[in-house]
Amino acid sequence: MIDLPLVIIAGGKSSRMGSDKALLPFDTFKTLTQFQLARFKEHFSSISISCKSKDKFDFDAFFIEDDPHYAESSPLVALLSILNRFETPVCVLSVDTPFVTPNIFATLQEHMRTTDDAIVAKSSFGNHPLCAIYRPFIQEKILMMLEANDHKIGHLLQSISTQYVDFGDDAPFYNLNYLKEYEDAKKRLASMATSHRVDTPTSH
């Protein structure tokens, strides 16, 4: 058990996918979001879904809707709304990364120093700011960026105390931006389950 909350960020535009990836079926689940909830619910102190509007979902969960003041859908708007809900560090994960495991967050937590505002996963591919732990109280910096119409989360990480934890292997951080990546991920999951290298959750 990781004694921190986890928030699944599921409010992106999915413009490259062509349809809302958070609602795509995955494994035996009706949606990718439900797959992620089932995988992680036993491993964190609480689990929530960040989204623009909860109306797009037809299942029960704890939702954190984006601040309606901002029309733009962006990770920074989502992060601001998330951090406004918590007084403890918060784990965040993009919904479209189905191979990230709880152990990755356990490792991030182990590396967390009192001076860190953010602890971000890194691999040979690059940094993964939506697989990270963020401390609250950086909202003022986010607000300043949004007022300047700067929605780049990389700029936020440059302006705060950020520690990067290098995992080397890119495989857990495979994300689903395009239809081909989505189809490849389904095949990969089936292959991993067949070889017993992954414990897939059971849908209800």
Number of domains in the chain: 1
Q: Is the model's pTM score more than 0.85?
A: yes
Q: What distances in angstroms separate CA 173 from CA 116, 117, 137, one per listed residue?
A: 22, 22, 27
Residue pLDDT tens, the chain, 204 long: 899 999 999 987 666 776 889 999 999 999 999 999 999 999 999 999 999 989 999 999 999 999 888 878 889 999 999 999 999 999 999 999 999 999 999 999 999 999 999 999 999 989 999 999 999 989 999 999 999 999 999 999 999 999 999 999 999 999 999 999 999 999 999 888 766 554 455 444
pLDDT number for residue 48: 97
Task: Please check whether residue 15 lies inside any domain of the structure.
Answer: yes
Task: Please check whether residue 10 lies inside any domain of the structure.
Answer: yes
Task: Please check whether residue 200 lies inside any domain of the structure.
Answer: no
Task: Please check whether residue 203 lies inside any domain of the structure.
Answer: no
The residue behind tokens 């401390």 is 135
Cα–Cα dist 128/121, whole Å: 5
Cα–Cα dist 22/13, whole Å: 10
Task: Please check whether residue 9 lies inside any domain of the structure.
Answer: yes
Domain that holds residue 68: 2-194
pLDDT digits (tens, 9 = 90+) for 3-30: 999 999 998 766 677 688 999 999 999 9
Q: What is the CATH number of the domain that holds 37?
A: 3.90.550.10
